[in-house]
Amino acid sequence: MVVAAAGFAAQPARADDGAFLLGLQATLFGLVKFAILPQHLHPDELVGGNALIEAGTFVAILVGTLAGGLPAGAVAQLMWDCRRRAAGRGAVT
């Protein structure tokens, strides 16, 4: 995430490189969480363990979406309010 943010700040046209690296990380490490289950669970516990891993991943995606979307919405609302106030004073927007 830091690499993607730094790439976007330095050169927005190169931000896709950071997104590629994040996707590569998710591809490589996403499989590890399932590969380790048979080493720690009994065969009759694998289905439940898999379900818990999937549920945790889903909840993490939802929380991350909210954690990123709410501040972005707050900034957008702040910018909207500033533009509306400036327009009310006759400033060029």
**Nearest one of 63, 36, 30 to 49, comparing CA atoms:** 36
Dist CA 28 CA 74 (whole Å): 34
Q: For 17-38, how does the pLDDT look when each residue is reduced to its tens digit (9 = 90+)?
A: 777 888 888 888 888 888 888 9
- With 70 as the cut, is the pLDDT of residue 89 above it? no
> Percent of the chain scored above 70 by pLDDT?
85
The alpha carbons of the chain give a radius of gyration, in whole angstroms, of 21
Higher-confidence residue of 52 and 33: namely: 52
The mean of the pLDDT values for the chain is 80
Dist CA 6 CA 18 (whole Å): 9
Side-chain half-sphere CA neighbours of 82 within 13 A? 6
Can you tell me the mean pLDDT for 39-61? 92
- With 90 as the cut, is the pLDDT of residue 8 above it? no
The three state secondary structure string of 18-50 is HHHHHHHHHHHHHCHHHHCHHHHCCHHHHHHHH
Matching residue, tokens 């730094």: 6
- With 70 as the cut, is the pLDDT of residue 41 above it? yes
